[in-house]
Amino acid sequence: MSEPFDAVDVIMAKRDRGPLSDAQIDWVVDAYTRGVVADEQMSALAMAILLNGMSREEISRWTAAMIASGERMDFSSLSRPTADKHSTGGVGDKITLPLAPLVAVFGVAVPQLSGRGLGHTGGTLDKLESIPGWRADLSTQEMLAQLEDVGAVVCAAGSGLAPADRKLYALRDVTGTVEAIPLIASSIMSKKIAEGTGALVLDVKVGSGAFMKTQESASELARTMVDLGTDAGVTTVALLTNMETPLGLTAGNALEVRESLEVLAGGGPPDVVELTVALAAEMLAAAGRSGIDPAPALADGRAMDVWRRMVTAQGGDPDAPLPTARHTHDVLAPADGVLTRLDAYAVGVAVWRLGAGRARKEDPVQAGAGVELHAKPGATVRGGERLLTLHTDTPERFDRALEALEGSFTIAPEGSRPGLLPLVIDRVG
């Protein structure tokens, strides 16, 4: 059959800073998914988009074309409204674990389709898979039944959601076009809109451990995604949150589950609690449950009850001991003073090198590997005290992890005050 467009004409239109028509966008996304547009042609178009951008209308149409490449989920049969959260990824970001059961306490269903880690950012599924017996792969029927019964599910996205995105994402990864904001936004939002949730709260990370290093780029991404959700009829809000330093006191799979359990038991690090409660309040409001303070449900055990039912429903044993690494190594403070900086990216790379992350999608991960923090910026430390503890099953990994941590922290004279950004920097919506 003859094609209505030529890929070269579409590439040249964007190369020359022209807008792409709805018909051109629909065709090029579909033709690439079908294999009619070659990888080298789509990579040229992706580079033109990176360099020259897209209008709100173009990005919206591109996202719709990505959604149209696959199936859409439908939660209209549920007796409760739905709300989902998406984080752009960071170091120590275990928020989904306490957040999903917390929101479910208040009668809002949370269909959390999550991914695995790649590089220095951890994956929610890897964390949960450190719980003995827990499984990520659910059928649509199992997912709907669990949402109706328990109110929360965290599972792997099926291959039928936005298959065009999976193909394009792999291409962007090897062609230097990952950073194109229109393509990041449409990648995230095509899957989230196809997922069929009624409300969406975005946690857009900013800083060294985040994908977006500057507040300006994070704000642009947040605004683009909020516009895409709004255009698709999904109530969408974004919080810009600080990822200069790791979130909480742990980074690594089972370590983060253990910390999440502390939060669900009414304790845990203050920053993890603060962000969990802030995102829960936004999700509840977006789903029509305004004015609720979710914090008491962490303190009184209601969120923990939902967590236990959620884990059990997916084959996990909530009482089973979590894996621990066979070897540890302490990093000591070199002097007395105030810890003014602890670089999230460096910690993330160390966690990855210890075996908690992967360089390729098919790599295995160690459940017990990771980094434990004994101090956060602002804390007074004493020379010789532990700053970090490294965990791994394979001690030959310590040297490379320690290399990653060289120069990653600053200890200033006592009385110094670090210039720290707030945890929640801004709200877009």
Residue 206 and residue 243 share a domain: yes
Q: Is the pLDDT assigned to residue 203 strictly greater than 90?
A: yes
pLDDT for residue 220: 96
Report the alpha-carbon distance of residue 202 to residue 282 in Å, rounded: 10
Q: Which residue among 80, 86, 116, 391 is the active-site one?
A: 86
**Nearest-angstrom CA–CA distance, 1 and 171:** 26
**Residues 262, 298 within the same domain:** yes
User: Annotated catalytic residue: which of 85, 116, 120, 191?
Assistant: 191
Residues 96 and 215 in one domain: yes
Q: What is the pLDDT of residue 120?
A: 73
Kindly give, in sequence order, each residue whose CB lies less than 8 Å from that of residue 40, ignoring residues fewer than 6 positions away. none
Burial of 387 (0-12, 13-18, 19+ CB in 10 A): buried
> Where do we find the tokens 């669990």?
146
Return the CATH number at 390. Answer: 3.90.1170.30
Residues 57, 92 share a domain? no
Is the CB of residue 238 less than 8 Å from the CB of residue 225?
yes
**Which of 26, 84, 93, 165 does the annotation list as catalytic?**
165
**Beta strands, E only, 259-366:** 327-332, 337-342
Annotated active-site residue 187? The verdict is: yes
% of the chain with per-residue pLDDT over 90: 89
Alpha-carbon distance of 384 to 374, in angstroms, equals 12
322, pLDDT greater than 80:
yes
Provide the β-strand partners of residue 250. Answer: 372
Strand (E) positions, 277-412?
Answer: 327-332, 337-342, 370-373, 380-381, 386-392, 409-412
Q: What is the average pLDDT across 306-311?
A: 98
Confirm whether 140 is domain-assigned. Answer: yes
At 416, which amino acid appears? S
Residue 85 annotated in active site: no
146 and 275 fall within a common domain: yes
Tell me: do 223 and 108 sit in the same domain. yes
In a domain, 74, yes or no: no
Q: Is 86 a catalytic residue?
A: yes
Asked if the model's pLDDT at residue 123 lies above 70, the reply is yes
Q: Calculate the average pLDDT of the chain.
A: 95
Kindly state whether residues 363 and 392 are assigned to the same domain. Answer: yes
Structure tokens at 19: 């807008």
pLDDT at 119 over 70: no
pLDDT at position 18 is 97
Check 94, 172, 302, 353 and give the catalytic one.
Answer: 172
pLDDT in tens, 52-86: 999 999 999 999 999 999 999 999 999 999 999 99
Q: Could you tell me which residues are beta bridge partners of residue 391?
A: 328, 370
Question: Does the annotation count 69 as an active-site position?
Answer: no
Strands 110-114 and 152-156: parallel
Give the type of residue at 304. Answer: M
Share of the chain above pLDDT 70, in %: 99
**Number of neighbouring beta carbons within 10 Å of residue 295:** 18
Q: Is 85 helix (H, G, I), strand (E, B) or coil?
A: strand
Q: Are residues 101 and 147 located together in one domain of the fold?
A: yes
Q: Which domain holds residue 38?
A: 7-68
Which of 68, 97, 112 is the endpoint of a domain?
Answer: 68
pLDDT in tens, 341-350: 999 999 999 9
Evaluate if residue 118 carries a pLDDT over 70. no
Q: Which phi and psi (to 5°) does residue 369 adopt? A: -75, 155
pLDDT-derived band at 359, boundaries 50, 70, 90: confident
Whether 361 is catalytic is: no
Q: Please, which pLDDT band fits residue 229 given cuts at 50, 70 and 90?
A: very high
Q: How many domains does the chain have?
A: 3
Query: Is there a contact between 309 and 150 (Cβ–Cβ < 8 Å)?
Result: yes
CATH, residue 120: 3.40.1030.10
Which of 54, 36, 33 is CA-nearest to residue 171? 33
The pLDDT confidence band at residue 222, using thresholds 50, 70 and 90, is: very high
Q: Point out the catalytic residue in the list 114, 187, 190, 208.
A: 187
